[in-house]
Amino acid sequence: MTSNGLRTQYPYNNGDALSPRPLYDFPSPTSNYPSGVGGASPGFYPMAFQSTTRFASSAFIPPPDVFFDGRNGGPDTPRDFRARRSDVLNSDPVAMHLLVETAIGDSQYFDILAVEEVEALKQEQKTLDARLGTVRKRLESETKIRDAARSLGRLGSKKEPGHRRGLSSRGSNATREKTTQSEEELEASGRKVEDLTRDLLEIESRMRLIDAQLLMHTAGVLQLTHNGPAKRNQSNEVTNGIGQRPDSPASLDHYETRRSGRGKTEDNFDERSLYRSPENLDNLMSALQNGTHHHVESVERQSEALTATAKRLEDLNARLRDLIIQANPERNRESSPPPRASNAASLDQQIDFLDQSLREVSAEHATLRNESQNSLNAVEGRLEGINSQLYAMLSGTEDSTPPPPTTGGASQDQLDYMEDSFYNIQQLQYSMSEQLDQLRTQSDSMTQQIEELRSQPSNTQDTQYEPTLMGLWSIILAGEDEARQRKRERRELLASDPDADEELSPDEDYDPNEQFSLTAFSAKVRWLHRRAFTLKEKQSILLRQIKQQRELNSRSDAQKEEQFGQLKERVLSARNEKASMEKELERAMGQLQAFDEQKHDADSQYLREAEERINVLEHQLKDAQDDARVESATIQAELSQSAAKIDEVMAALRTATAEKKEAEDRGADATRALTAKEEELRILEDKVVYLTTEATLARAELDGAYGTRAQRAAESAANPAIKRELEGLGAQNASLLTELASLRKAQDVASQNEAEARDSERTLKQELSAMASEYEALTRDSIQNEKDRDTLEASIDKLRDDKESLELELSDERVKWLGVRSPGAPNGAAAATMEATSIRMLREDFRKMMRDRTAEGLKALRNEQEERRKLEALVRSLRKDASPQKSNLGRFMTHSPSG
């Protein structure tokens, strides 16, 4: 058989059961589970727990909505507590018998745990409950982060096609890197959400498993200790005139449903001793004849027996005194302690003290009965006051009846009158709603009529306008007169009550001689509209007050029933304690000593565990504070470094921007000069072509008119003016060629400078993008560190709260045990304990002072973090200011090749 890390589900097949074998070896006819020996235990089926990553790899992970929106109405949703249907159980004893038989048969194989295991499960349940809240909060935050990252990714994917124009290949690579990085962050966030969801599922599965084990343990213990129905007493058949539930048919046969074959109770008399022979009669006669009955041993035995009886009486008196003090701590706290059992002579004092204590119990019982009667009278008086207020509210109605008088008995009449009053108030509310609807309908009809009158022609408007408005005016005045008449009647009814002035509304301004006019009619309509709106608000307020009054009445009824139940339980416990006091004289001593030892051991162990937990929590808190300080210092250093780098980059960017602007100016000047020179060169070339053409034509004309070149050369040699003109033209042509060559060299130099400026701009852009990526990474790290810091602060606050609660509990326990001295401890030890307790209290005060100082330090740290956030916002604003310069650089790179 496989083991699941817990106790076995079948403890009766291996011979190592904690409890004896049950008597139910037959299947129950109405059982919900397999019954009988060897039947499967209906304990639990930990499928959800074993399907986790701890047991298998195919764990089903539900979506996160299951843990937030889908929990209401699920299979694990706690059901509302409903009242028992006692009328069915009272009228059907056979069904009750079947239910008892089914419950006993179903729980006969449930595993009964040890006390240590139960405490361990409860402690684990508390731990899991705390972890559940933490994991759920983390899951909510991580889900929000994942959704935000997903939204940012969608925004980036939408914006990416619009920014592809004008970007180089390096810019597109950076965009792809950012997209890949955002996708990786989204995947990491999704993995965190899945891990937290899996942890939440495991915690809830484990909590359900622990609940099932504890419920099985409780059912097994109840089945083990079930003794069947007892015989009913005549005094218990009718209590306060209400019939109790009849016993099941099994009570006729006195069936026994216990798993252990226990015998009769200890207080039953063994009648077999009546038939025993007097074995010691001969020895008694010989002792009387020989006079050996005066031996000291018999006297000592009698003295020891009397001393033991006196000791038991002392313990019994102590328990009875504790019971009396618990019944009324204020009055009986200073009562005298029971007399000490010094010898057998104090037996009479013990018996007298017992008699006096029993009389005090009887007196306390009578006092409790009187207090319960007084509380009933007080509740009835309070109900009468509430009913009087309701009657004052309903006195204006036709069928209002006064509240019933106070009788000093049951308050059912007062409650019935209160329910009737609430019903009448609801009827008034409905009538007010109908009146408001009527007023609203009249207002709408009047508005419609006014609009119709306005839409009619001018000749018919004068004939229908005034009669209609006069009729509406008379209706409004009649309604106001009726309302004032009702208020006057209400004032006359409440005139005898001096406290009823607050319930009356103040008088309103009213002019009985007010004449009809369009302005007065419009003002009256607006007043009616405001009045209807105000009445609607008052109606909602009245509804809320009625609801609150109902909740208060139900709460007072519940408190009254709870008080009755407590008083009844205290009376019954006092009676049972008084009746069983004499029966438990022999067992009281051992049980009390064992209880004292167990309580002392448990208290000392609890104190040790509390101190250990406090020390562990203090160490954890100190470590968390140190880690937080180290992380804060690291983040501050990184932020300062990033700020310095950003300042350097901004300075370099400003320098590069200035150089770029100067280069742009120089390039623009060179471009303008080059354009002018090219234009001048083009003009000169056109002039040269024109002159060449003219020269050719002139040469042809000269050849035709003046002969050949040799002839003209001879003539030109003979004419020096023409020769000088030709030489001047040749020199001018040579100078123009030289100037054209220099302009081409200047154009080459300007192109080289422009290329260098583009290279420097590209380099600066690369450096700036790298710095921006580094800054984004630092910002992301700072955000993650901020999240981790918030998580650590939440855990630190929780640990601090747990530590403070443990310190408060420990202080209460120490104050409780401050004046208590152990029976076996000397006075010196008690003084040392008190001194140690005082030292501990001083130490706790010092720790509290240090906590306050630590809180001040944390406050200062938070202020520094606020300053850091402001600096980050300033850096982001500087980045936004620098973004237009980047766009100017891009525009220059785009337009410069076209120029």
Q: Is residue 568 part of a domain?
A: no
The answer as to whether 603 is a domain residue is yes
In this structure, are residues 395 and 503 in contact, taking their beta carbons and an 8 Å threshold?
A: no
Phi, psi dihedrals of residue 242, rounded to the nearest 5°: -115, 130
Q: Find all residues with CB under 8 Å of 509, minimum gap 6, and list them.
A: none
Residue range 232-253, pLDDT digits in tens: 444 444 344 444 444 444 343 4
Long-range interactions of 228-236: CB distance < 8 A, separation 24+: 228/254, 228/255, 228/256, 228/257
Domain count, the chain: 2
458: alpha, beta or left, given left = phi > 0 and alpha = psi -120 to 50?
alpha
What are the CA-CA distances from residue 888 to residues 519, 590, 649, 662 (Å)? 66, 97, 18, 14
Q: Do residues 588 and 319 touch, judged by C-beta distance below 8 A? A: yes
357 belongs to a structural domain: no
Q: Residue 662, class by beta-carbon neighbours within 10 Å (0-12 exposed, 13-18 middle, 19+ buried)?
A: exposed
Running DSSP on this structure, what letter comes out for residue 817? T
Taking the CB of residue 390, how many other CB atoms lie within 10 A of it? 20
CA–CA separation, 789 and 861 (whole Å): 12
Which residue, among 104, 3, 13, has the nearest Cα to 46 in the 3D structure? Answer: 3
What b/e sequence results for 468-477 when a residue is b if at least 16 CB atoms lie within 10 Å of its CB, and e otherwise?
ebeebbeebe
DSSP annotation string for 76-96? TSPPPP----HHHHHH-HHHH
The secondary structure of 510-573 as a DSSP string is --TTPPP-HHHHHHHHHHHHHHHHHHHHHHHHHHHHHHHHHHHHHHHHHHHHHHHHHHHHHHHH
Q: Decide if 313 contacts 354 (C-beta within 8 A).
A: yes
Phi-psi region of 254 (alpha: psi -120 to 50; beta: other; left: phi over 0): left
Look at residue 409 in the predicted model and tell me its pLDDT: 58
Residue 777 belongs to a domain: yes
* Regions of the chain where pLDDT drops below 50: 1-81, 162-171, 230-279, 281, 292-295, 500, 502-503, 822-826, 884-899
Q: Are 295 and 55 in contact (CB under 8 A)?
A: no
Torsion of the alpha carbons at 874, 877, 881 and 887, rounded to the nearest 10: 130
Q: How many CB atoms lie within 10 A of CB 25?
A: 11
Q: Is residue 885 a contact partner of residue 658, using CB atoms and an 8 Å limit?
A: no
410: which 2 tokens? 């049951």
User: Which strand (E) or helix (H) includes residue 776?
Assistant: helix 720-816
pLDDT for position 121: 93
As given in the structure block, the two tokens for residue 583 are: 């029966």
Q: What is the model's pLDDT at position 198?
A: 93
What span, in angstroms and rounded, lies between the C-alpha atoms of 468 and 268? 100
For the residues of 92-147, what is the DSSP string, one character each? -HHHHHHHHHHHHHHTTTPPPPPHHHHHHHHHHHHHHHHHHHHHHHHHHHHHHHHH
**Which tokens belong to 847?**
């720790």
- Taking alpha carbons only, the member of 613, 680, 650 closest to residue 886 is 650
How many Å apart are CA 379 and CA 372, to the nearest integer? 10
Instruction: Provide the CA 837 distance to its chain's centre, in angstroms.
Output: 37
Structure tokens at 469: 């408005």
Can you read off the two tokens belonging to residue 356? 């006096």
Write out the two tokens for 207: 């909590």
Does residue 379 fall inside a structural domain?
A: no
Beta bridge partners of 239: 242
Helix axes 169-224, 115-159, angle to 10 degrees: 160
Q: Which helix (H) or strand (E) holds 830?
A: helix 827-895
pLDDT in tens, 794-810: 888 788 788 777 877 77
Residue 342: inside a domain: no
**Is residue 203 within 8 Å of residue 131, measured between CB atoms?**
yes
Contacts of 673 (CB under 8 A, 6+ apart): 743, 746
Q: Are 17 and 112 in contact (CB under 8 A)?
A: no
Which long-range contacts link 628-637 to residues 24+ away (Cβ below 8 Å)?
628/789, 628/792, 628/793, 628/796, 628/861, 631/785, 631/788, 631/789, 632/789, 632/861, 632/864, 632/865, 635/782, 635/785, 635/868, 636/864, 636/868
3-state DSSP assignment of residue 784: helix
Pick from 109, 107, 113: which is nearest to 40 by CA?
A: 109
Reported residue count of the chain is 899
pLDDT at residue number 659: 79
Q: Phi first, then psi: what are they for 164, rounded to 5°?
A: -80, -20
Under 8 Å CB-to-CB from 746, ≥6 apart: which residues?
670, 673, 674
Q: How many Å apart are CA 392 and CA 493, to the nearest integer?
A: 9
Asked whether residue 448 is domain-assigned, the answer is: no
Question: Which ranges constitute the DSSP H helices of 328-457?
Answer: 329-332, 347-394, 412-455
Q: For residues 561 and 83, what is the distance between their CA atoms, to the nearest angstrom?
A: 14
Give residue 658's domain range. Answer: 587-895
